[in-house]
Amino acid sequence: EAGVAQSPRYKIIEKRQSVAFWCNPISGHATLYWYQQILGQGPKLLIQFQNNGVVDDSQLPKDRFSAERLKGVDSTLKIQPAKLEDSAVYLCASSLVFVTGSYNEQFFGPGTRLTVL
């Protein structure tokens, strides 16, 4: 079974530029998550989709970050404009379903390492 795919794996940009990351979840997984992992810290949830609807985006900095999941499959995360503090690894994860009140195992992609200069 293919895992969660992400691209690009690495990206270097200058501050105030824009950048976009792409994620393809495991086939059949309804729920998709984007995490930000700053060096030396654990992953922090940015946004959660159930099919193509947003379940939780409370920690997404909406002034500069946006995400979409058209057709309930692939997803893109965009930063515009980027700041130095956005340097991090951006992880995408998916789970088969999201059942309220129940554990849903997440499968993570390899991540995109973003460096903002």
In the complex with another protein, the residue whose CB is nearer, 16 or 44, is 44
In the complex with another protein, the residue whose CB is nearer, 39 or 71, is 39
To another protein, the closest distance from the beta carbon of 106 in angstroms equals 7
In the complex with another protein, the residue whose CB is nearer, 14 or 56, is 56
DSSP 48-75: EEETTEEEE-TTS-TTTEEEE-GGGS-E
* Side chain identity at residue 100, one-letter code: T
Other beta carbons less than 10 A from residue 98's beta carbon: 18
Residues that bind another protein (CB under 8 A): 33, 40-45, 48, 56, 91, 93, 100-111
Peptide bond into 61 cis (omega under 30): no
Among candidate residues 4, 22, 3, the one with its CA nearest the CA of residue 70: 22
In the complex with another protein, the residue whose CB is nearer, 42 or 53, is 42
To another protein, the closest distance from the beta carbon of 50 in angstroms equals 12
Euclidean distance between CA atoms 56 and 62, whole angstroms: 12
To another protein, the closest distance from the beta carbon of 54 in angstroms equals 13
